[in-house]
Structure 1
Amino acid sequence: MHRKLVSEYSNQLHQLLVSVSRHYYFGNDGYLRYQKKPMDVDLKNSFKSRKEHLVYYILRDHYSGTFAFRIASTKRLLPLADFLYYAWSEEKTEEKFIYGMPDALFVPKTVATDGLFTALENLDIMPLHPPSGFASGVRIFRDIEQLLSYYLSETVDHRLDGVDKLCSKVCQYLIDSGKLFEKWKESLPREQHPRSVPAYDDFIKLFNTVDAGPFSLVQGENRRNDNTILELKLPPFDREKLDRAQEMIYDAWEEMSRSKRLSIARKALLLSPYCTDAYNLLAEHSESSEERMELYERGVKVGRQVLGDSFFEENAGDFWGITKTRPYMRALAGLAECLWDNGHRQDAIASCRELLRLNPNDSLGIRYTLVNYLLAEGMNNEADEFLSEHNEATCFMLYSEALLSFRCKSARKAAISLNKALEANSFVPAYLVGVKYIPHIVPETYSRGSEEEAIIYASASLSAWRVTPSALDWLATRANYQRVRRNS
């Protein structure tokens, strides 16, 4: 039997783990692929493989189990020195759940070199080979890969940089579920830990050795590019390629299969990274609000490049009527929604105003969104002015007018406004006051006075009603409903 290894406090002993995934690899298009049958690949033979395999880097505290986690690929490795600095430094502590150098570090033989051991000793860290029978980390790799698969199903940017952004979510879930970070903090010796790492340049110099082995210790030719999607360098613009890519997106919209739509959008971007509607399509299929916003930002950026600044000056007011402006308009509308959902509310309002400036006819119905944003932000004067400019007898504007009247005007005017709104659509109060649930999937189409229209309005405006004291109670009373209070 192997003796059980016991550590006495946090940061006494860390374990370095580096492993090649046996299921995930990157295709020729740069996007992650999954192979159900395990591939015969490991650290020793991965460089002989024709595939670009996913690589996991883990630095784990032996006492608490908390860890730092990053990914790379066999063709774009993360240097070990960079990973160790990331794991031990106090930078970006909101994204990782361990910091400070340990007393000792277990180093797997597959990445161990004399140079690495020398660098660790110079940092006063005892480098050790794991004893026979020491936990290999198989379980944590399994848990990480299962959770990573789940998050991949929610996102669409499955390039290396996109997948790397999921690392903090994976860490947080696994660490929070076992309260590992709390255990780590509570068990740190106050006088000894956490031990701070040297400045980055000084730290890296210690690892600048000649015997780095296949897994580079410091920056080299195979180091990956950490640029975000917004910082990618674009090739020269080619109108013919963009037109072909746009035709591909038209085909993708007709596809019933989500995976096929995403595949077509990715191919369209490979053909022309200026295809705004490809970013729009990817954003629409992402369940990550951060990723959606990033994709729409990219769509807005390239869309403006394609049209050109002079085009905006010459054609403001006629957008949407000019077909080639529509991808940009769709991207800006999507971005406004994402900005609002991610807490950038004034930016969202500014984006809505820009959409209306470019297209006063408002083919996208942005005026209904904007009035709710103004009310939710308590911008009553702006909302009053906006409603005066858009005086129309629609459910969306009449209920907004009723809410504003309740806030700022007399009870008589509020009652008159609400009566007009009820005449336009009598289904709305039931969804606002909680008698009926607002469905998770909001209808895409509606007719005036319909229940579908009521659902669309209630879904978009509920936050504005909720932030207005007593407004929902007033609405319930006037509409003869018993208000139902539900958790937000």
Structure 2
Amino acid sequence: MPDRNITEHSNQLHQLLVSVSRHFYVQKNGMLKYQEKPVEVNIKNYPKSKKEHLVYYILRDHFSGSFVFEVTTTNFLIPLADFLYYGWSNGTEEKYLWGMPDFLYVPRLISSPELLAGLKRLGVEVLNPPSGFASGIRIVRDIEDQINFYVLVNTVDHRPENIARHKEKIYEYMLNLNFGDNKFKKWLDNLPAGHPKKTPEYKDFVKCFAAASGRAAGIPVVNPSPADEFTGLKKYVEKTVENEVFSSSNREFSAEKLRRAQELIYDAWEAESRQRRLYLARRALKISPYCADAYVLLAEESRDPQEVRELYEKGVQAGRLSLGDLFFKKNAGKFWLILETRPYMRALAGLADSLWKTGQRQQAIGHYKEMLRLNPNDNQGIRYILAACLLEEEMDDDLGALLNQYEGDISCFMHYNRALWSFRTSGGSNEQSDAYLAEALESNSHVPAYLLGKKKIPYCLPDYYALGSEEEAVIYAERAKKAWQKTPAALVWLARHLPE
């Protein structure tokens, strides 16, 4: 029997914890809410609460601190045998702990004769944890901090199901996987001979917990109808949510409902608080799932690249469905002048930007080209973004065609891009490329300082700019600096042509 505070190797002692959140609960709309004042609730008395609380299942190695966890709610509790099997089995899922321990701390609050008998049959000796189970309290607090950051702050999909998408980030932070104190590596490096002990097949594992109807406090010990094979914990933590606003809908299109939804988005754009903007966008989507601007607003409020892309994709889909294929055929070439097209065009611009940032560059370029086909007048300034993308991807023929299409453009964006394009395609410095560069320098003299690194490009870009202004230079340099850096001798050429 190990000392209550000292273990000598990995998998000697594991700690089981099932804790009802005192801060997080699920609202009627299915979204998580954080309550600053803690609620006096635990796994035994939670039925008295009128709220659906988050529940944390944690299995932690005492020696190394490595652990596995799952999050569900009080309405969808995971049978303890299933969670223990998940923690101890070594399946295909990436985990940071497996193999049965010699000893297991089981808090009295979740202990039951059925659970203890099953563990004894498996050869795992049960211990009661020290008073307070301090390490368990800390790990719950840290998990809640990460959920608050990754789900409530960084994303707009605040359903409890969204937590699963961020589990790897939570592990990475709490196990310090990229830093010196790597708890998982400590666990791996300190497994003694005979460990990790192999876990029986799921069917045999569950049979050890004979009483199918037994419960530990309010938690079932086993599933009353266990499967022959382990199918994971998704059935407990991934629920279908009625009126879920983040998935596409086949509801009949209504122009009046779309109009009402769009009015809410106009209000949302004026709202000062993020919480209010999210509320109005979700409400708009409940009125009409065809409201593309609702998806655009949600994407703008998210900091998660995957979620941003998915939301813009849904915005593009919603916008296209609301307009109809015939509309595209009849009005290509004059989009944006038609007010109804603007939500779709905003969504498509956002999607292209998110694809570019996540490395799907050819898809992004394709979307930018499509926007110019639909609206060659380019009220959104897409030609400037596309030119920078083509430069960086060294698509010189496409860039040449774009420059010819907008030959009369007087902004510094096109002047500097034309100069760099000419330098690259005509063999370097010559009369033509030098003339283009002179025109560029005349259009905005602030640009070279940012391209040459004499001035730093600010983290937050300006919202507005005037022709020839420093704000215009900052925006251009942020988009085009990599292309200038990738072009051999281009920056030397630029520096050589600066006035004394």
TM-score relative to the length of structure 1: 0.87
Match of residue 325 from structure 1: 341
Q: Residue 401 in 1 paired to residue 450 in 2? A: no
Distance across 2 between alignment mates of 1:260 and 1:60: 39
Give the alignment's Cα RMSD to 1 decimal. Answer: 3.1
The one-letter amino acid paired with 2:22 is R
8 Å CA contact retained: 2:388, 2:483 = yes
How far the C-alpha of 1:113 sits from its partner, in A, is: 4.7
SS at match of 1:60: strand
Quote the residue 2:187 is aligned against: 184
Tell me the CA shift for residue 25 of structure 1: 1.1
**Amino acid paired to 2:419:** A
| 43-52 vs 157-166, greater mean Cα deviation | 157-166
Do 2:100 and 2:124's aligned partners in 1 also have CA atoms closer than 8 Å?
Answer: no
Q: What pairs up with 1:67-82 in 2 under 5 angstroms?
A: 67-80=67-80
Q: How far 1:8 sits from its partner (Å)?
A: 2.6
Do the aligned partners of 2:248 and 2:314 also contact (CA within 8 Å) in 1?
no
The CA deviation at 1:13 is 2.9
Q: What is the CA deviation profile of residues 70-102 of structure 1, one whole-angstrom value per residue up to 9, with x for unaligned ones?
A: 322222445545544554445342xx5334444
Contact 1:431 1:455 in 2 (8 A): yes
Q: Following TM superposition, by how much is the alpha carbon of 1:138 offset from its aligned partner in structure 2, in angstroms?
A: 0.4
Moved more, 339-348 or 4-13: 4-13
Cα pair distance change 1:86/1:301, threshold 3 Å: farther
Amino acid at match of 2:219: F
Tell me the residue number matched to 1:215: 219
Distance (whole Å) between structure 2 residues aligned to residue 12 and residue 231 of structure 1: 44
Match of 1:91 in 2: 92
Secondary structure, in 3 states, of the residue corresponding to 1:7? coil
Residues 133-144 of structure 1: pairs in structure 2 closer than 5 A: 133=131, 134-135=133-134, 137-144=136-143
Quick one: distance in 2 between partners of 1:313 and 1:101? 64
Aligned residue type for 1:215 = I
Within 1, Cα distance between the matches of 2:210 and 2:266? 52
Query: Whole-Å Cα distance in 1 between the matches of residues 250 and 191 of structure 2?
Result: 51
Separation of aligned partners in 1, 2:49 and 2:341: 45
Query: Unpaired runs of 5+ in structure 2?
Result: 226-233
Match of 1:484 in 2: none
C-alpha distance 450-205 of structure 1, shift in aligned 2 (>3 A): farther
Aligned residues: 476
In 2, Cα distance between the equivalents of 1:227 and 1:476? 60
Q: Secondary structure at the match of 2:340?
A: helix
Partner of 2:153: 153
Q: Which residue of 2 is the match for residue 291 of structure 1?
A: 307
Report which stretch shifted further, 80-89 or 223-232: 223-232
Distance 1:381 1:227 in 2: 49
Query: Paired residue for 2:489?
Result: 470
Per-residue CA deviations over 1:433-462 (Å, capped at 9, x if unaligned) read 111121111112212111111111111112
The 1-side partners of 2:285 and 2:13 are apart by: 46
Deviates more, 1:405-414 or 1:305-314: 305-314
Contact 1:300 1:332 in 2 (8 A): yes
> How far apart, in 2, do the equivalents of 1:197 and 1:307 lie?
56
Amino acid of the structure 2 residue aligned with 1:261? R
- The answer to whether the 8 A contact 1:237-1:274 is kept is no
Q: Residue 237 of structure 1 aligns to which amino acid in structure 2? A: E
Q: Which amino acid aligns with 2:495?
A: A
Matches within 5 A, 1:23-172: 23-80=23-80, 83-84=83-84, 86-87=86-87, 88-93=89-94, 96-113=95-112, 116=115, 124=122, 126=124, 128-133=126-131, 134-135=133-134, 137-151=136-150, 152-172=152-172
Q: Secondary structure at the match of 2:175?
A: helix
Higher gyration radius (CA)? 2
Offset, 1:142: 1.5
Contact 1:207 1:218 in 2 (8 A): no
Asked if the contact 1:90/1:99 (under 8 Å) is kept, the reply is no
Structure-2 separation of matches of 1:377 and 1:461: 11
Residue in 1 that maps onto 2:265: 249
TM-score of the superposed pair, with normalisation by structure 2: 0.85
- Quote how far apart the aligned CAs of 1:235 are: 5.6
The alpha-carbon deviation at position 224 of structure 1 amounts to: 4.0
Please list the CA deviations of residues 1-33 of structure 1 after superposition, one character each: whole Å capped at 9, or x if unmatched: x95333332233332222111111121122221
Which residue of 423, 438, 451 corresponds with 2:442? 423
Is residue 23–residue 34 contact of structure 1 (8 Å, CA) maintained in 2? yes
Q: 1:4 to 1:77 in 2, by over 3 A?
A: closer
Partners of 2:11 and 2:102 within 8 A in 1: yes
Deviates more, 1:297-306 or 1:81-90: 81-90
Structure 1 residues 368-422: Cα deviation after superposition (integer angstroms, max 9, x where no partner) = 1112112212222322233233323321112112222232313113322211111
